[in-house]
Amino acid sequence: MAAWLGRAGGAAAVVTLLLGGCSQVRDHKGYVVDSMLIDSVQPGVDNRDSVQKTLGRPSFASEFDHGATWYYLSRDTRQLAFSTPTAVKQVLLTVRFAPTGDVSSVQKTGTETIRRIALYDKKTPTLGSNKGFIAELFGNIGTVGAGPRGPSQDNPDG
């Protein structure tokens, strides 16, 4: 009876360790959202200075309009063991500035702006023949030094 209990206890310990590796990992990346501060930024009232004093430096600025759009990104993710992290909650605050430096618009979006990109998992197409590894490795035997057409009829040595 004691041996059976010892085996059952060992099996329970192994199962517990295996299930411990499958625990869920939660993570937060980016800006720490404060709803009162975000709601206080108003178009026509605020400018670059006041936005930076209120919200801090942006997560990133747009390159296409010379930094006239600031983005504050906050994302909460969860991940099970070795799987890809999944976004649970996201807040993307977009602040656009007029050429004068005043806030022209403020937009707040969530997880609906996330796009999945399917990776192409097949071979990369290349030009040339479709030889295997062995053919590529040993394919030049007998043709080295033979010239562009191989050995000629007049001179069998090449």
Local confidence pLDDT in tens for the 158 residues of the chain? 555 555 666 666 666 656 556 678 888 888 888 889 999 999 989 999 999 999 999 999 998 888 899 999 999 999 987 888 888 999 999 999 999 999 999 999 998 888 887 776 677 767 767 777 888 788 777 776 666 655 555 555 54
Torsion of CA 96, 101, 102, 107, to 10 degrees: 10
Domains of the chain, each with CATH number or no CATH? 23-116 (3.30.1450)
**Which amino acid is located at 24 in the chain?**
Q
pTM of the model: 0.60
- Cβ atoms of 26 and 76 closer than 8 Å: yes
The DSSP element (H or E) to which 18 belongs, if any, is helix 2-20
Q: In a 10 Å sphere around its CB, with 0-12 CB exposed, 13-18 middle and 19+ buried, how is residue 104 labelled? A: middle
* Structural Rg of the chain based on CA atoms: 31
